[in-house]
Structure 1
């Protein structure tokens, strides 16, 4: 009910590219968000997801995050996970376009799950190095084997608790970070603060499900006000954060 209420509020406040005076944001919206080209790689993303939706095997789950709002079982069928927990086709295609548009050399994903988002990021820029962290050992092993099966290169899988693994990565620099593993307010803020050290002027942080709960929305509002953040874009399902010092401080609410 919270998400439904927030979505109606979002519709009332949101807009498209019209009225956006920032050339950077305008280009992102028109050339990436609203890019209608039918990329051949879309079929690969859909194909990858199709294999998951046809997989009737089960995986024992170790859930270190906020958990699933739909699936509570400790043992879950892969096909049902792909249907309920994986990135939608629309979001996977947008992730692909974002990877193609920004061409990040080094990306970090918090929350591999079944690897649908990882696949989209990889196909958008196959030469990029992607580090993806998954808390559940069984899911991590399954997704890693899938990446090998589909011959996806340059993907480094890390299995472990986000708190511990992020500490080991803080010396790195990331062009893109996708936060999609723990939908709790305090955890999200902790990961954001920790990974700020890895960001540079042109980095983009993408937060999944910013209206997942009241706590996640509160975390999003705090992140928007951080002094290092210059531009944010709220698309309801994702929140985008930029650190571009040359940009005028502004928050956008955009239908994507």
Structure 2
């Protein structure tokens, strides 16, 4: 896990980045070093460790990730459950190419990487059922709510949705508050950087805030 990110941080190549979402807080440059993307956009160690524990605990068989980036989180989920089938969607072709090359190099055979617009990709995936969905791509309110509503039909009673950067911006926090109030949502956990959503009908509606 740490070796994978370390390798990316030492990468000296530059690529043209296509931002289809809210972009980066760190830079607006179109041409960026891969090492810079890994540092600013890659999943931090603390979050990677939490994601590993969550996947190990819930043992999701079918995982969807919106926003592959360089594949750090994807790699973590693959390690946590090698038997899982992981579908990851990345909007930027050049970033996707780097991630795919790394997955092949590490022989991660349980990852299907889709390159393209999130809306188009999601519409082709709605007939599937997912145990875990990691929303980590477009940090805009309207897009986040749209993806959530569309992918609700892929969730079952024990599914878990994870929303990244719920305090990225005021509109993103508003999206999180809207999701919490959805009638199908029963339990949420706010970790200050992620929002976890559960749909278990046997549980009363509750919202928890936990600093991890």
1:7-18 correspondence runs (5 A): none
Work out whether 1:177 is the aligned partner of 2:133: yes
Work out whether 1:129 is the aligned partner of 2:98: no
Work out whether 1:221 is the aligned partner of 2:164: no
Whole-Å separation in 2 of the counterparts to 1:84 and 1:140: 17
**1:192 paired residue number:** 148
Whole-Å separation in 1 of the counterparts to 2:83 and 2:205: 32
Matching residue within 225, 237, 244 for 2:200: 244
Q: Per-residue deviation at 1:163?
A: 0.6
**2:106 paired residue number:** 150
Equivalent pairs counted in the alignment come to 212
Q: Which has the larger radius of gyration?
A: 1
Whole-Å separation in 1 of the counterparts to 2:206 and 2:125: 29
**1:40 paired residue number:** none
Structure 1, 218-227 or 80-89: larger mean CA deviation: 80-89
* 3-state SS, counterpart of residue 148 of structure 1: helix
Normalising by structure 1, report the TM-score. 0.82
Whole-Å separation in 2 of the counterparts to 1:53 and 1:220: 31
Residue deviations 1:136-186 (CA, integer Å, cap 9, x gap): 011111101100101111100000100111000000000000000000000
Q: Larger relative contact order (C-alpha < 8 A, sep ≥ 6)?
A: 1
Whole-Å separation in 1 of the counterparts to 2:62 and 2:173: 27
**1:98 paired residue number:** 54
Matching residue within 89, 108, 117 for 2:45: 89
Whole-Å separation in 1 of the counterparts to 2:198 and 2:174: 18
Q: Per-residue deviation at 1:71?
A: 1.7
Q: Per-residue deviation at 1:104?
A: 0.4
1:156-171 correspondence runs (5 A): 156-171=112-127
**2:13 paired residue number:** 57
